Amino acid sequence: MGAKILVSACLMGHAVRYDGKAKPLVHPALDRWREQGRLVTICPEMSAGMPVPRLPAEIEAAKTGAAVLSGAARVLESDGGDVTAQFRQAADNALALALETGCGYALLIDGSPSCGSTSIYDGSFSGRRHPGEGVTAALLRANGIKVFSHGEIDALAALAGFSEI
């Protein structure tokens, strides 16, 4: 069996997103990996004690997760509340779980200030995205875990050599 894959809980059908919903991803590779026991599911925000539902949060000033990790940016809620500490804890929790369970890969929901890996919202709460990654995605990548967005599942399957398609 190959390396395990850390997966955003919302992609696995868990209603853990800020709006209390899930974003289930249906794909033959996910079914196969589930059967093989290779999936490790986490909602970083919930692991850090954040409630469901919760206020939308974005990284300020069109910055990225790396800027949050370095202390150069904050994660703010739509009402201005600072949830940077919770998002940093969420990233630490996801990394710890990935390392404990032997995850070499992560499949994360894009757009999220935690899990976004190709684009995230720009901090204006206007629905605009910009290229960048969330706090969890940045920390996982910085520690050698290959991160893919939900839209890149075919690339993950091809890279890891276990595509059924």
Count how many domains the chain has: 1
For 16-27, b where at least 16 C-beta lie within 10 A, e where not — what string? bbbeeebbebeb
**Is residue 50 in a domain?**
yes
**Is residue 17 in a domain?**
yes
**Is residue 164 in a domain?**
no
**Is residue 165 in a domain?**
no
**pLDDT tens for the chain, residues 1 to 165:** 568 999 999 999 999 999 999 999 999 999 999 999 999 999 999 999 999 999 999 999 999 999 999 999 999 999 999 999 999 999 999 999 999 999 999 999 999 999 999 999 999 999 999 999 999 999 999 999 999 999 999 999 988 655 443
Specify whether the CB–CB gap between 118 and 64 falls below 8 A: no
**Is residue 24 in a domain?**
yes
Q: Which domain holds residue 70?
A: 4-159
